[in-house]
Amino acid sequence: MTEAPPPPTTATVPRGATISPIPSPSPSTGPARGAFDWTDEEARRRAAAGLVRAVRPRPADSDLLDLASNDYLGLTRHPAVTAAAAEAAHRWGAGSTGSRLVTGTTELHTELERELADFCGFEAALVFSSGYAANLAVLTALTAPGSLLLSDAGNHASIVDGCRLSRAQTEVVAHADPEAAAKALGREPGRRALLVTDAVFSVDGDAAPLAALAHVCREHGAALVADDAHGLGVLGEGGRGSAYAAGLAGAEDVVATLTLSKSLGSQGGAVLGPARVIAHLVNAARTFIFDTGLAPAAAGAALAALRLLRAEPALAGRSRTVAAELYGRLTAAGLTAARPDAAVVSVRAPSPETAVRWAADCRAAGLAVGCFRPPSVPDGISRLRLTARADLTAEQIGTAVGTVLRTAPDATPRGA
């Protein structure tokens, strides 16, 4: 199934906002050069800035204590989850074989959608091959040329890319600031509008003020989209997510996106919302219509993990407790960290180079931690990122704290 791509367009980004088209390489002059010679200069620039990324395969079994992944509930290796994945692969095959609208939808997909919607309190759900694809679907299918799209300054790259592709007039608003959103919407009365925000921000782990943002949106007739990748399984009653916690689940003007690859330990993404919105996405979202469906093994694993979460609601509270303990012990020892609203604990580092070295020293000492640095962080401040998994023991928490403190560079920011 193919379709000619639309002509390229550039979204308008007014008032000094930061979402902009991706720059193209400067044209070369002089003698003919290789088509990709410009990548050598880009590589030198990254190396000089200490921003070189590398793909590092991990072994199936590791002695490292893992506080780097997004396996918030520790379910990715749970016997029930891996068994469900294997059973689904045996029954349905290794792949879904096509688009969801052709051959890519199995009974597992529809069962997962029903149970996700029911658990999170929404009318309907639609499963995608990734959370990235889910965000692109919502932002391109629920906006149009001439509509207004407000995006939080701290939003994930998938949201930024969705804004770029949407063709809507995109305006970046101050981070977690309902008043800024209200002012932006007030300048465009009566205009079709949508506000999109991470529900829990992946860098510092702070939660968006969803209830206040929803109030602002309703005053101006706008829709609210919340990316709950880091909230599902952690926030809300029994891990039902950020929208549920804010009293917004099932609202006719609220849509949530999420991933199946974090708390549910699998792969894929989903959109939750009113049934008419989901029906529209089936007919209009390009990342649904033209993408191969989520593999059956991933759908089966996510469904098994969701049922485990429903059966063990204390898992969500445990991940928050672990986060609070990590934060408390690290800040009590003098490090500067962001107070976690969910399961992400972010510890500031003095520079990108120091952050990389700090993370490497932790790894050498047996602890895997995340390392966030420019350009991945919107404020330019480098950090270590620790995952507060629900299955961490008291001994493992102590080991993690001790390792981070023992390897901390002398110039690490101190103070609450």
User: Annotated active-site positions, please?
Assistant: 202, 230, 262
Candidates 276, 227, 20; CA nearest to 128 is 227
Based on the number of CB atoms within 10 Å of its own CB, is 69 exposed (0-12), middle (13-18) or buried (19 or more)? middle
Tokens 């629920």, residue located: 142
Q: Does residue 233 contact residue 316 with C-beta atoms inside 8 Å?
A: yes
Tokens of 95: 């792949």
Which residue(s) pair with 171 in the sheet? 150
Q: Report the amino acid identity of residue 75.
A: L
Tokens of 76: 């990715």
- The strand order across the sheet containing 193-198 reads 124-128, 269-273, 254-259, 223-227, 193-198, 148-152, 169-173
Which residues neighbour 251 within 8 Å (Cβ) at sequence distance 6 or greater? 214, 243
Which residues neighbour 24 within 8 Å (Cβ) at sequence distance 6 or greater? none
Candidates 133, 73, 84; CA nearest to 287 is 133
Q: Does residue 196 contact residue 181 with C-beta atoms inside 8 Å?
A: no
Tokens of 375: 């350009």
Q: Report the amino acid identity of residue 17.
A: A
The rounded distance, in Å, linking the Cα atoms of 90 and 43 is 44
Query: Running DSSP on this structure, what letter comes out for residue 237?
Result: G
Q: In a 3-state reduction of DSSP, which class is residue 353?
A: helix
Q: What separation, in Å, do the N-terminal and C-terminal C-alpha atoms of the chain show?
A: 55
